[in-house]
Structure 1
């Protein structure tokens, strides 16, 4: 696995975050190289210009463009942000201004570079923000794998920003070129709101929250199997998303302190909104953007509930689920419980048996697609 990015007589050492000894994935891809090559070879904007970089995976673009430009980095990912900051420090790069995903964009940006996000809702949100904040004729160069740039993707650029054109494919990646064409003054709606009447909830989701317009099937299934009772003192909703499980846990366990954890800043913000809208006493909730349970004290909680993702950005991987399980094992007190929901084919019960012991792992419920698994710390 390469850690040295060398282009145009410059070299950077780049690592994914968190850094793992057996890492098999690079901290950059050919799309990053394509953007760097194009802007360098075509002198798109003069040195010293202000560049806004959206969705930089682990800081490769931020490191490179900080050499000659004033860089602003905006990402919704805590993990991407930490990775970028560590790589910037490791390579002794010039200072970069880091923005949260809901922070306003400076209105004097000269060039926008975007790694096109996976979800169209988030892409639409970002294009609307650019249209609302940028000066006219500000160029945008976006990149993604060629097979992920669909007609619907280009239609979003045309609808919310300007009619785009694309480059030739290079190493299976393609560039999308567009620009701000007019000043936009109308406000942009920040959230999508919808009801879950069977659980007496109303949920508001920011743009980059998973399953942002309806309750996903996994959450719908586990809601009816969440534990009840006042004997749980400290509960973690790990990978909380919009906070729907946290709300149900709070209603089922009136004396519990509940911590909502997610690596998406928008997810944590949505969870906070929804808890305050649906819970009578939200003071017993804490909201944390984090890499799993980094920094949480060992043996400090008696219940962790999680619905693990199986991808990081565009890479399919199970290391996040394994980190969630190992972090939960560390944080749980003796006889504490980890409750997991996942697709049945992922085999989480076997993974949990390796960690907790086979006699401590039980399938609590299952249907045709999902399995809810309980693991007790002995």
Structure 2
């Protein structure tokens, strides 16, 4: 695996998260290299206020650490990877200030450096939030691989920042420069979105980077029809909880249950917390954790874990996160505890579940999804 990022700003060792044996993917891409080489060519003012958005594994933040940038991300994994990679390169972690996606940096931004995220609603939210903090001469530079740079991203920059100008593509990567228009009037920030939950009296809150922002997605709808029902279960975990509706409905069905909500997205946990409070006010308590799956969760501490594993990490598709969830769930469950999983039919989760748990039962299926149950024996 290639771990060495070489740009005009220096040579740095970088690793991805979560760690995988025999990792074949780099912790950066040609878009990171293009942006770093551009900044080195034009020069960066010594005390510039630099804000970096959506830096996947810290390639930009580590390379620019001499300028003490602020790195904003909705991903706990991204923040942890940045911290790890600073240590890996012998750089003081205080040289990069980390902010979650719902916090704001200091005003007077000189450089806004943007990796275009897969979810453009997140970019829209970020531009709404940060436009008032940009200096009139702020250099706004967005970057990404050409295949993942839809015209919508350019239109967002045009509409919320100012006129854009693309650079020529290099190694299938592109830079987009936006000139701040101080006279541009921002529309109302449309996030978070809210919609009524069908067959209930709940209104669902979804922050910008949470899946299916405008209605209940069909996978969750199917899962809600087949939730575990066992009066002996007390400690539940909604793993990869998204907006937390699965956990909220589990709590409604189990009045004495203790709920845990876990996701690596700050916006997901914020959504889940708001939805839980909206459903129960002060009458119920729950734990909300932004984390890398169940990495630091106590062993033998849960009776039931429910999850809909992601099969992509930004633009990278794979089942490594699902495997991590299944392995860790096996450790966290008590003997007799259940893992209930929903997934697309083609993902064949039953093979992994049977290998890890020694058993796997199909609970329900339709044309697109399958729900499986495995019990720790």
How far did 1:322 drift?
0.3
Instruction: Confirm or deny: 8 A CA contact 1:229 1:252 kept in the other structure.
Output: no
- Tell me the equivalent position of 2:70: 72
TM-score of the superposed pair, with normalisation by structure 2: 0.95
1:89 aligns with 2:87: yes
Pairing 1:2-151 to 2, within 5 Å after superposition = 2-8=2-8, 10-43=10-43, 45-67=44-66, 69-94=67-92, 95-151=95-151
Aligned to 2:251: 250
SS in 1 for 2:284: helix
Structure 2 spans left out of the alignment, 5+ residues:
none
**2:259–2:286: 8 Å Cα contact kept in structure 1?**
yes
1:9, distance to aligned residue in structure 2 (A): 7.1
Alpha-carbon shift at residue 172 of structure 1 (Å)? 1.0
Q: Give the corresponding residue for 1:349.
A: 350
Instruction: Provide the residue aligned with 2:229 in structure 1.
Output: 228
CA offsets, 1:158-204, max 9 Å, x none? 11111211111111111111032217688645411111131332101
State the alpha-carbon separation in 1 of the partners of residues 182 and 335 from structure 2.
60
Is the 8 Å Cα contact of residues 68 and 96 (structure 2) preserved in structure 1? yes
Query: Cα distance, 1:314 vs. partner?
Result: 1.5
CA–CA separation in structure 2 for the residues paired with 1:274 and 1:70 = 36
Alpha-carbon distance, 1:230 to partner:
3.5
Structure 1, gaps ≥5 residues long: none
- Conserved? CA contact 1:132–1:185, under 8 Å: no
Contact 1:366 1:372 in 2 (8 A): yes
* CA gap 1:229/1:337 in 2 versus in 1, 3 angstroms: closer
Q: Is the 8 A contact 2:14 2:27 kept in 1?
A: yes
TM-score normalised according to structure 1 size = 0.95
Q: How many residues align?
A: 374
Contact 1:5 1:12 in 2 (8 A): yes
CA contact (8 A) 2:9 2:63 kept: no
Distance apart, 1:85 and its partner CA? 0.8
Name the residue aligned to 2:209.
208
Partners of 1:304 and 1:319 lie apart in 2 by 18
Mark the CA change 1:23 to 1:187 in structure 2 (over 3 Å): closer, same or farther: same
Aligned to 1:238: 239
Aligned to 1:306: 307
Superposed CA deviations along residues 30-58 of structure 1, whole A, max 9, x for unmatched, are 11101001111122x32231210101111
Q: Secondary structure at the match of 1:198?
A: coil
Q: How does 1:157-236 map to 2 (within 5 A)?
A: 157-182=157-182, 188-236=189-237
Distance 1:312 1:114 in 2: 18
2: distance between equivalents of 1:238 and 1:163?
42
Contact 2:112–2:139 at 8 Å: present in 1 too?
yes
Provide the residue aligned with 2:156 in structure 1: 156
Moved over 4 A (4+): 183-187
Kept after mapping to 2: 8 A contact 1:52/1:72 = yes
